Chains A and B, each alone.
Chain A
Amino acid sequence: MGGPGLLAYLVVGGLLFAIGVFAVLCQRGAVMVLMGIEIILNAAILNLVAFWRFVNPADYAGQVFVIIAMTIGAVEMAVGLGIMLMVYRVKGTQNIDKFGEMKE
């Protein structure tokens, strides 16, 4: 097979996940939070495809699953950005600290 082994993919996946969590927790911009979520999702997808490649490469269900997950991620982003756009129009800011409506 050659190239990096499973562990390398998992390490990259773990790092991506950590970056994503950091972005989600520390960024104040709503769009940046959404991007953090997307990075977390991609970390999960990377793990998935790495396991497919190294554990059971003959079965392409893993690949199909990854493509479906990517599609869902894209749809989720579209919806998320749409919501953020509307929120921005109403409130004039995209700083999530300014959104307190979920209280009560």
Chain B
Amino acid sequence: MSLDVLAIILIIVTCLSPLAAFVAISLAGWFGLAESGLRRLAAVASVGATTLAAGGSGWLLWLAIIGLQTQAGFKWASFGNRAVELSLRLDPLSASLSALIATVALLVTIYSLGYMRDDARYARYFACLSFFSGAMLVLVWSGSLLLLYMAWELVGLASYLLIGYYWERPEAGPAATKAFLITRIGDVGLLLAIAALFLQTGTFDIIRNLEAVATGQISGPLLTVIALLLFMGAAGKSAQLPFQVWLPDAMAGPTPVSALIHSATMVAAGVYLVARMLPLIMAAGVAAGVVVAIGLATTLLASCAALAQTELKRVLAYSTISQLGEMLVGLGLGGLFAGTYHLLIQGLFKAALFLAAGNLAHALGSTGRVEFARYGGQGRRLPFTRLGFLIAGLALAGIPITLAPSSRDPILSLALTRQPLIAGLLVVADFLTAAYIARAFLLAFTEAGSRQAKTIQAEATLSPPPKLKETKIMVGPLLVLVGLVIIVAPFGSLWLGQPFKAFIEPTPSGVLALPIEYGMEGLTLILSLGAALAGLAAAWYFVGLSRPTPTQAQPYKVSPLYNWVESGFGFDTLYTKGLEQVALSLMQAANWFERIVLNAVADRLAVAVLLGAQVIRNFDTKILDRAADQLADLTLGLARRQSDFDKQVVDQAAEGLAIGVGRSSRPLSRLQTGQVGNYLLAIFVWSMLALAVSLILSFWS
């Protein structure tokens, strides 16, 4: 068996095993397997499937590392001379993404065994989770845009199901609908872009489309439009401006799902799409600039918003939005390595952060929310969770915990060589990132947080459970993820020669290569480390050292400005108000049109009718009346003579006719029964008769 065939079989196994688990669990539930058996099946099937997927991904990653690149597909349909192919593709990008997805999915599934243990819809949860990871795996392995789009929509559907999982909670349903609809707006752009590419090149194959761009088959304004539409889809999925509003609300789902959404599946899809189509986006000059600008704006806004949140998971949600923005800045500057490296490492430590938050929420017995004001400082009673959050948080802040400096460094270094302004803003974002994650850690996991919580809740009505404990099955995946951050991060580290860069951005050759120079590594390191340390220090100064005084009883939600930032810069209100305004102005316009135009026309019409009526009345009284009088006299004379004839002849005839019609129509009227079935039968019989007659006639001639 050649390696190519092996790779394709491995890809199919990797993609299909989670989907098969989904089908198996659903069928078992459908056929009414007993509750305990169903739970066992769900657990075994989804853990087994994700293990298989993780193993397959690891093997495929190894194949990619030894230099294998392959693609295999089949013709799905053909339209005239245009063939629609679905294909799977193994290359460094898909292999590394798949390894991330399968690993995080496996750990999250294991974690869920503990987190969802007491849930009533246990099997349903695991079915959806397997479906989610399976769809995402298909998305990254797809070699054709059409298959990618199908998987893209499946991921959207799965996220809808999982965000709305606790449908009995009032916030879950709207959050799921919001996520689905807002990403759907972006999906329209993606669909249009794919259709435009197919019309231009006649193929859905990703690589052939990219080659068509590289050889100049598509260029000019059309290329820019396609690139922008593609980016619209990516921005919707990756929660970038102006679509970022859905992600913070997506917290309504179970916390392990948030871990999956925020790291490996769903939001990673948008960044992956941009990375995959990077040669196209770079070829369309303006589009790359748009990607950088939107990414940068999103990063800054979201990290400010993260600094103001009062709940742990929302801090992490805004953090994800801002980190995704940074990845897009890196990609928009042409750095495939910069963007992808941060995507991978962020996926690992963000999943770890969410699992830690989930641990805390689970131990506290809350519904997944960890409000600082209520549970501040409780995290210090969970030593392993605290350790995991600390290490993952330091990785997010950009402190070199192991051999690797911040995973954002390649992006910063790229920006420094290109445009110092971008680099400056990125340093600000780095500072904010370190500050918000340190603030979240201090508030949730240290003494400082419980002091704050006590000042806010002086009455202490909400006494936390006396003893918090960590479940082994939930601490394990968290610590493994943290370990993976420590192991994997150095592969992109400068100090080890960046082997990941050589892997994902092979030496410039061929039309698809994007020769990119990274530079000023020393300055990058100083800037990012400085920003991170400054951020930590600021958080320590403002949160860690604050001694509550009686006047400081309400430190949260003091100013309107704070509320505005906390609400994510009021985008939700803006959109709601904006839509209301649009509807309102439409109504006003309609009202104005009715009052001014229609009323005026109606008035004129009425006056004209009135005038006409007067004219007719004059004509009537003067001329017609006189004529009528004379006509009446004449008629009277005639009528007298006719009435005899009428009574004797015509009346008889009419009566007879009426009776005849009445009698003959009675059977016909019975046909109108009002019953749909009878009518349908009549239609059918008559059509058959018509058919028969036409057949006979055609045989005749």
List residues of A whose CB falls within 8 A of some B CB: 21, 24-25, 28, 33, 58-60, 63-64, 96-97, 99-104
Contact = CB atoms under 8 A, between A and B. Distances in A.
Interface string B44-79: 000000000000000000000000000000000001
A96 B676 contact: yes
Given A24-B680, A25-B681, A100 B80 contact: no
B637 interface: no
Nearest to B679: A102
B675 interface: yes
Given A58-B81, A99-B675, 15 more contacts: A24-B680, A25-B680, A33-B676, A33-B677, A33-B680, A59-B80, A96-B677, A99-B676, A100-B673, A100-B675, A102-B675, A102-B676, A102-B679, A103-B674, A104-B674
A84 to B, nearest CB: 11
B675 A97 contact: yes
Contact of B80 (A28, A33, A60, A102): A60
CB-CB nearest 8 A-B residue pairs: A103-B674, A100-B674, A60-B80, A60-B79, A102-B674, A96-B676, A24-B680, A25-B681
Nearest to A99: B676
A58 B80 contact: yes
Contact of A96 (B79, B81, B675, B684): B675
Nearest to B669: A103
B559 interface: no
Contact of B684 (A21, A60, A101, A104): A21
A58 B677 CA distance: 42
Contacts of B80: 58-60
A74 to B, nearest CB: 17
14 contacts: A21-B684, A25-B677, A25-B681, A33-B677, A33-B680, A58-B80, A59-B80, A60-B82, A99-B674, A100-B673, A100-B674, A102-B679, A103-B674, A104-B674
A103 B673 CA distance: 6
Contact of A103 (B79, B82, B672): B672
Contact of B677 (A64, A97, A101, A103): A97
Contacts of A58: 80-81
Contact of B79 (A63, A97, A100): A63
Interface string B354-377: 000000000000000000000000
Contacts of B681: 25
Interface in B625-682: 672-677, 679-681
Contacts of A63: 79
Interface string B104-119: 0000000000000000
Nearest to B82: A60
B85 to A, nearest CB: 16
A60 B79 CA distance: 5
Contacts of A97: 675, 677
A4 B676 CA distance: 38
A8 B116 CA distance: 52
A96 B674 CA distance: 10
Contacts of A25: 677, 680-681, 684
A103 B670 CA distance: 10
Contacts of B679: 102
B662 to A, nearest CB: 18
A21 B79 CA distance: 32
Contacts of A60: 79-80, 82
B690 to A, nearest CB: 15
A103 to B, nearest CB: 3
Contacts of B676: 33, 96, 99, 102
Contacts of B677: 25, 28, 33, 96-97
A91 to B, nearest CB: 13
A97 B79 CA distance: 45
A58 B82 CA distance: 10
A96 B678 CA distance: 10
A33 B672 CA distance: 20
B202 to A, nearest CB: 13
Contacts of B680: 24-25, 33
Nearest to B681: A25
A21 B687 CA distance: 12
Contacts of B684: 21, 24-25
Contacts of A102: 674-676, 679
B221 to A, nearest CB: 28
Contacts of B672: 103
Interface in B485-509: none
Given A24-B680, A25-B681, A25-B684, A101 B674 contact: yes
Nearest to B674: A103
A97 B82 CA distance: 50
A60 B82 CA distance: 9
Contacts of B675: 96-97, 99-100, 102
Of the candidates B79, B82, B672, B679, the one having the most CB atoms from chain A within 10 angstroms of its own CB is B79
B694 to A, nearest CB: 17
A99 B679 CA distance: 12
Interface in B424-453: none
A33 B674 CA distance: 16
Nearest to A64: B79
Nearest to A97: B675
A55 to B, nearest CB: 14
A24 to B, nearest CB: 6
A17 B680 CA distance: 14
A60 to B, nearest CB: 4
A99 B674 CA distance: 7
A59 B81 CA distance: 9
A21 B681 CA distance: 9
Contacts of B674: 99-104
Contacts of A104: 674
A100 B680 CA distance: 14
A21 B81 CA distance: 37
A99 B82 CA distance: 50
A64 B675 CA distance: 37
Nearest to A96: B676
Nearest to B680: A24
Contacts of A101: 674
Of the candidates B673, B677, B679, the one having the most CB atoms from chain A within 10 angstroms of its own CB is B677
Nearest to B685: A25
Contacts of A96: 675-677
Of the candidates B80, B81, B672, the one having the most CB atoms from chain A within 10 angstroms of its own CB is B80
B203 to A, nearest CB: 16
Nearest to A100: B674
Interface string B84-95: 000000000000
